[in-house]
Amino acid sequence: MTLPLPLDHGHLQQLVTADLVRPDHLLGAHPTTENGVEGVRFAVWAPNARYVSVVGDFNGWNGFDNVMERLEFGFWGAFVPAARHGQRYKFRVTGQDGRTVDKADPYGRFFETRPNTSSIVWDQPFDWTDAAWMEKRAQGFAEAVSIYECHAPSWQKGDDGWFLNYRDLAHRLGEYVTDMGYTHVELLGVMEHPFDGSWGYQVTGYYAPTSRMGSPEDFKYLVDHLHGLGIGVLVDWVPGHFPTDEFALASFDGAPLYEYADPRKGFHFDWNTYIFDYGRNEVVMFLIGSALKWLQDFHVDGLRVDAVASMLYLDFSRTDWVPNVHGGRENLEAIAFLKRLNEVAHHMAPGCMMVAEESTAFPGVTAPTPFGLGFDYKWAMGWMNDTLAYFEEDPLWRKYDHHKLTFFNVYRTTENFMLAISHDEVVHLKESAVMKMPGDWYMKRAGYRAFLATMWSTPGKKLLFMGQEFAQSTEWNYAESLPWFMADQPDHRGVMNLVRRLNALYRERPDWHKGDLEDEGMLWVAADDTETSVYAYVRRDPRGSAWSLIVANLTPVYREAYPVGVPQAGEYRLLLSTDDLDFGGFGTVQGDLTATDEGWQGQTGLLRLNLPPHGVLVLEPAATVLSEER
């Protein structure tokens, strides 16, 4: 049982002055004992309310039995001796307009399963077994980070068509992710939300795992089990907006409270959602407390912060907007919030990973505060758009867009980038990743294998949405389980084998991850052969001797004895060919892998390779002569 903080002047003042980073220890429903009597202490923030009571199973939902006391700074509190763990409740709020609405607890720890919306009194212990993991969970920027993005409610369903319990998911997902070689999973759809079709991005329970899949302790079991397998856990977190559902945060006390009052700042017309008021300390602390709840209490290893661009700009997707105090378009309050969020998260949850989904060129997203926003990683949206656009193009015309695969190198070290092919790219008639590729079914798979190999061998941390690892040919459908029958078919199994092999190379080879965020981590050998659409580059460990050569032939033309410059003469080993039979390819045979000492493409050695159509080769020298001190 967690003892609540006293509802006294000092703690309430701490919250309104933004000094209480765990407001959930003060507000919400807390089983406790007062004057020797067991019950539940309820507290809520509703400064504009005329009248607040707590209603629930303990009083027959009678709004007159447990009237809450108005406290300082707009807070309300009540101790209910009859209340206990597991009972449903809501706050009955009468606003200044005289309307009375039953509201779910903003700080609720557990909720009824939709379509019901009541909060549930909850405070249960859990025996964690991941102490060793939590002590050393910091991966470090020079380590491999390969993330399996997973919409937990639809990854796999039970035999009855209902959602898996978190505990069942723990074992099935853990075994699968371990076999595939990922280092982390990123879970979306796990915070409480009323509408399945929002995929979990319109949150009403910022402190609660969704009850669709079990209790908070069941979710903790999922995290604990994955940690035991050596798998890190991130969750998607949405501090940019919230839904208009009347039972939740919207107009909580009969007036705008959590949202900006001016709809030019406070409403997303594209998404039909409200925007948090980052200028109110109580709102900022509500969000920061939510982040810490997941990082500390649920032991998650990081947060992927959704829609950061929509928070940064006052004119985001709107023509009618309010400039900031300097006349600019930046939301200075949101920027201050994000900086505070990252400072507090890194201080209170050492080793956590904060990831921004930010789609603009806003400077310093991953630079340290106070000058930057303080995130650890930023999704490489520019890389994603350029690379997908290139691979979706008819190979006949790719020579005219050759730069799309090289442009990322111009700016790839300006931020700590994560290469992400997420759920957003495989819905809304965008097609699944493999079906974006041109040509017949064989060429689509060959092109997709080449795409995956270039992604994994390009500097940056990795993220791939579920189903894409086995070349799911249908779009993702949140309402259905993944089409796992595809994974048993040879064509799809080949792509799965490739992803497993790429993850192994990425984890095991220091040249594939040690220099992810450094200029020296990648060197171009051939970046201008537009006529053949062939690319060649070297990945290297900036402080070690390991290096490898990647050659990509991105047309459906077989090229025999194609000349490639290499840093040294001598024997080479083939580490991977996307054309291997195990991956669903033809099995193109290589000739003599001996590089002569002829100079070529600015390199000291020359290697002639048989390049398979839509194929990528990865090679390493049989003997390394590069300095260990470099």
| Helices 490-508 and 441-457, packing angle to 10 deg | 10
Contact 154, 478 (CB under 8 A): yes
Q: Which of 149, 306, 358, 511 is catalytic?
A: 306
The answer to whether 246 is a known catalytic residue is no
Q: How many CA atoms lie within 13 A of 552 on its CB side?
A: 26
Tokens of 541: 């460990």
From start to end of 292-331, where are the E strands? 302-305
The DSSP 8-state label assigned to residue 414 in this structure reads: S
Q: Which of 24, 224, 253, 357 is catalytic?
A: 357
Q: Which residues pair with 163 in a beta bridge?
A: 157
Tokens of 246: 């009347």
3-class DSSP state of 330? strand
Dist CA 219 CA 203 (whole Å): 17
3-class DSSP state of 203? coil
Contact 429, 407 (CB under 8 A): no
| Helices 166-180 and 216-228, packing angle to 10 deg | 20
Alpha carbon 281 to its chain centroid, in Å, reads: 26
Dist CA 574 CA 83 (whole Å): 67
The answer to whether 224 is a known catalytic residue is no
Tokens of 293: 């709840």
Burial 326-344 (b: 16+ CB within 10 A, else e): eeeeebebbbebbbbbbeb
Dist CA 146 CA 361 (whole Å): 24
Dist CA 67 CA 179 (whole Å): 55
Phi, psi of 42, rounded to the nearest 5 degrees: -110, 140
Contact 76, 52 (CB under 8 A): yes
3-class DSSP state of 222? helix
Residue 569: Cβ within 10 Å count: 18
Contact 371, 362 (CB under 8 A): no
Alpha carbon 48 to its chain centroid, in Å, reads: 36
Find where tokens 């208009």 sit.
244
Question: Could you give the strand order of the β-sheet that contains 242-243, starting from the edge strand earlier in sequence?
Answer: 242-243, 273-274, 267-268
The DSSP 8-state label assigned to residue 511 in this structure reads: G
Closest listed residue to residue 122, CA positions, set 227, 301, 2, 291: 2
Kindly write down the DSSP assignment for every residue of 356-412, as one continuous string: E---S--TTTTSPTTTS---SEEE-HHHHHHHHHHHHS-GGGGGGGGGGGTTHHHHT
Positions marked active-site: 306, 357
